[in-house]
């Protein structure tokens, strides 16, 4: 009961703050940032690293998952957060499952288009290797989601339940199709974790590409996020051969080492 009461209190408090922010924006007490963007995609695809990198640029304010918890007016919430930032360049991260499952949006398929029509440029980040993406989700739930600075890294191999792995892969694949639907005919900058964020050596070129797309000044960037898992699957999975057997003959076998 205490847990339920605490959850209800947090929800009421969150929506009270949300409603106040929306009201201030609607009354014209705050204005939208001239340059605004959304990082759109799935979790465990490098979105947090990209937020961290962009926040190190001068004049950029980039929030994390502002739609992680349900709010009464999701679209107005994004606008209000932008206006409340008081920044000339504002961005935020919105994950596809939050549109699909978390928020009370009447026209879910038109949500990203509506953001674009209101001046938000879309940076679409995805992870191409579905097996690595699934394993990243599994490891994150065992060892934690992100490591920064001097936090301890876990390089232990994990024993993977192949049914769980396939469930994660298929879930990611379904979200991939859903994201394509939401982005249909919506101009956006496509980015991939593997090409643009996996190696730190690629970060300067990635940020230069984004700055050019947004029409903002480039600068030196840094991130204190560190990759949690080993790069090769066989170095990360204790029962790697079992995983190979489970994926043999499927469309996902191509993602193995």
The reply to whether 3 falls in a domain is no
Average pLDDT of the residues in 223-244 = 84
- What confidence category does residue 24 fall into, taking pLDDT thresholds of 50, 70 and 90? confident
Specify the number of domains making up the chain: 1
Structure tokens at 118: 């209101």
Sign of CA dihedral 121, 73, 7, 4: negative
Q: What is the pLDDT of residue 6?
A: 58
Structure tokens at 16: 């009270």
pLDDT tens digit sequence for 133-190? 999 999 988 876 555 555 555 568 899 999 999 999 999 999 999 999 999 999 999 9
Q: What's the domain range around 243?
A: 10-255
For the beta carbon of residue 231, count every other beta carbon within 10 angstroms. 11
- Report the C-alpha gap between 199 and 220 in whole angstroms: 16
The reply to whether 4 falls in a domain is no
For residue 242, give the CATH number of its domain: 3.40.50.300
The reply to whether 23 falls in a domain is yes
Q: What is the pLDDT of residue 20?
A: 81
Q: What is the pLDDT of residue 147?
A: 54
The reply to whether 5 falls in a domain is no
Average pLDDT value over all residues in the chain: 90
Task: Give alpha helix (H) positions in the chain.
Answer: 2-26, 47-55, 74-84, 96-97, 111-117, 130-143, 162-182, 193-196, 203-214, 240-247
pTM over 0.85: yes
The reply to whether 161 falls in a domain is yes
pLDDT tens digit sequence for 34-93? 999 999 999 999 999 999 999 999 899 999 999 999 999 999 999 999 999 999 999 999
- What confidence category does residue 238 fall into, taking pLDDT thresholds of 50, 70 and 90? very high
């Amino acid at each position: 009961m205490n847990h339920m009461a605490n959850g209800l209190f947090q929800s009421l408090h969150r929506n009270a703050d949300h409603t106040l922010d929306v009201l201030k924006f609607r009354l014209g007490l705050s204005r939208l940032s001239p340059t605004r963007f959304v990082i759109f995609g799935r979790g465990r695809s490098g979105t947090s690293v990209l937020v961290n990198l962009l926040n190190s640029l001068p004049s950029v304010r980039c929030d994390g998952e502002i739609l992680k918890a349900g709010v009464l007016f999701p679209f107005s919430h994004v606008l209000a957060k932008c206006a409340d930032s008081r920044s000339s360049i504002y961005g935020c991260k919105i994950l596809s499952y939050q549109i699909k499952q978390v928020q009370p949006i009447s026209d879910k398929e038109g949500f990203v288009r509506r953001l674009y029509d209101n001046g938000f440029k879309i940076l679409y980040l995805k992870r191409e290797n579905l097996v690595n993406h699934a394993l990243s989700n599994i490891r994150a739930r065992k060892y934690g989601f992100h490591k920064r600075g001097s936090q301890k890294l876990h390089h232990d191999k994990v024993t993977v339940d192949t049914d769980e792995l396939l469930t994660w892969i298929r879930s990611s694949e379904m979200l991939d199709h859903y994201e394509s639907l939401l982005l249909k005919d919506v101009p956006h900058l496509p980015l991939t974790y593997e090409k643009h964020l996996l190696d730190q050596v690629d970060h300067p070129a990635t940020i230069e590409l984004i700055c050019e797309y947004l029409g903002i000044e480039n600068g030196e960037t840094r991130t204190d996020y560190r990759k949690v898992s080993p790069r090769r699957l066989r170095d990360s999975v204790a029962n790697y051969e079992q995983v190979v057997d489970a994926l043999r003959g499927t469309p996902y076998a191509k993602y193995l080492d």
